[in-house]
Structure 1
Amino acid sequence: MTHPSRKVCFVTIGATAPFDTLLSNVLAQPFLEALKKHGYTALLIQYGKEGQEIFDTFIKNNPPGSPGRYDLDIQGFGFKKDGLVQEMRSTKANESQHIAEGIILSHAGSGSIMEALRIGVPLVVVPNPALQDNHQEDLTRQIAKNGWAVAGNLNRLAESVPKAEKLRSTLRSWPSKDRGELKDSRGLAGVVEEEMGFLD
C-alpha cells in the first residue's frame, strides 16, 4: 500500500523585527491555494515576536477540516532559542518516511538565509519593505540573480511557489566547491560576500 507523501513549506518571519504583512500573506487564500496545487500537505510557520495574534486568529477562524485550510496541516510557533535548523530540515525529502522535498520561505535576514541555503532545498526570500537602510532588497536580488533562491514579492506571494518548484531542477549546491582563496581567510562571511557579489 502506498502512503501519501508529506510535503512541507516552512516559513520564517524572523525573531526580532515584526513582519506582519508577510505572515498575513502566507495565511491568505492565494498562497495556501498555491501550496495545495503543488502538492503541499503541511505549512509550518515561525511567526516571530508579534505574530501570534494573527496566527491564532487564522486558526480560530479556520479550524481543521474547514475550506480555508486547503487540506493543509498548519502549525506555528514564535521563537526557538536553539535555532531553526530542525524545522528547516523538515522540508528535506525522505523516501523511507514518505516525505517529498518542500520549500523554505524566509524573510531576508542573512542568518536565516545562510541556514536555509545549507539545507539545500528551494528557498524563497522576501525582503521587508518596512525596514530602512538594511540592504534586504539588494541582498535578495543578488541571491536570486546567482541562482540561489527565488526573490519573493510580498504582494504576489503565491507566484513564488511555482517559481520555487522550477528552481528545484536547477538549484546550485551551497556553498560551491570552487570559491577561491577567500574562504580560508574570511570564513563563511567571506563565502557569502564572494558568492553574492558583495566584494569591494
Structure 2
Amino acid sequence: MAHPKTCFVTIGATASFTSLIQAALSAPFLSALQNHGYTDLLLQYGEDGKGFFDGCMQQAQATVSSSGLKVSGFALDKAGLGKYMRQAKGLGAKGAQEGVVISHAGSGTILDALRTAVPLIVVPNAELLDNHQVELAEALAAQEYVVHASLADLPRALQDAEQLRLRQKEWPPVNSGVHRQAKGLKGVLDEEMGFLD
C-alpha cells in the first residue's frame, strides 16, 4: 500500500474561486498528481460551492477513477484549516509523505501554510477587483517562500513545489537573508548566541 501523500486545495471562505476547484479536478492536474505520487486530493470548496464541486466531480469521475486518487471535499471548517495543513505536511497518518497546499493568495491561509512549513502553491484569483493577491504572491515567490502559479500552470507548479521542498530543507535557509549566512558550526553557534559582527 502506498504511503499517503495529500494535496490540499483551499479557495478561502470569503470569495468564490470556483476556477481553482475546476483546475484542481482537470485531467492534466489529476495526472500530474498521480505522476508525483499523490494518493489524496482534498478540496475546501467554500460556503456555497458544494453544487459546483459535485458537478466537477461528476465530469472528472472517469479520470479520478483511473488515477487511483482519493478525492474529497468540504465547505468550511469553523475550527480552521490547521488539521488539513498538517495532513498535507504528512503529520498524523503513519508513514505519510509530505504533500503540498494549493491556495488562493489570501494572507491568512498563506500564513497558516508557512507556519506549518508545508510547500505552498499560491494561485491568485484573477477575478477579484483591486487584486492585491498577485502582488503578495509575486513578492513571496521572489523570496522563495512559495510557488506562484496561474490556473493553467498547476501541473508544472507541482514540480516547482517539489524543488521548493528540497530548498526549504537546505541550511542555511535560502530565504534567510545575507546576514544569516553563517559559515560552519562555529558561525551558526555564534549567530544563535547573538555574537554577530
Q: Considering only CA atoms, is the larger Rg found in Structure 1 or Structure 2?
A: 2
- Which residue number in structure 1 is paired with residue 50 of structure 2? 52
CA contact (8 A) 1:17 1:49 kept: no
Spell out structure 1 runs of 4+ moving beyond 2 A. 58-63, 66-69, 93-96, 175-179
| Offset from partner CA, 1:129-156 (integer Å, 9 cap, x none) | 1111131110000010001010011122
Which residue type is aligned with residue 103 of structure 2? S
5 Å-filtered alignment, 1:8-19, equals: 8-19=6-17
What amino acid is aligned across from residue 88 of structure 2 in structure 1?
T
Shift of 1:114: 0.2
Aligned-partner residue type, residue 6 of structure 2: V
Q: Report SS of the residue matched to 1:87.
A: helix
Q: Which residue of the partner structure matches residue 129 of structure 2?
A: 132
TM-score by length of 1: 0.80
Structure 1 segments unaligned to the other structure (5+ residues): 180-200
Counterpart position of 1:68: 64
1:62 CA displacement: 4.7
Q: Percent identity?
A: 42
Deviations 1:81-128 (A, max 9, x none): 111000110012359712011000010000000001111111000100
1:31-62, CA deviations, whole angstroms, 9 ceiling, x for partnerless residues? 11100000000000001123212211233345
| Cα deviations by residue, 1:154-200 (Å, 9 ceiling, x for unpaired) | 12221111110111100277x96999xxxxxxxxxxxxxxxxxxxxx
C-alpha distance in 1 between matches for 2:105 and 2:113: 11
Give the aligned length: 176
Structure number with the higher helix fraction is 2
Which one of 22, 27, 45 corresponds to residue 25 of structure 2? 27
TM-score, normalization: structure 2? 0.81
**Residues 71, 140 of structure 1: alpha-carbon distance in 2 compared, 3 angstrom cutoff:** same
Local SS of the residue matching 1:90: helix
Where do 5+ consecutive residues of structure 2 fail to align?
180-197
Query: Superposed, which structure 2 residues align to 1:66-105 within 5 Å?
Result: 66-69=62-65, 70-94=67-91, 97-105=94-102
Q: Is the CA contact (8 Å cut-off) linking 2:2 and 2:39 kept in structure 1?
A: no
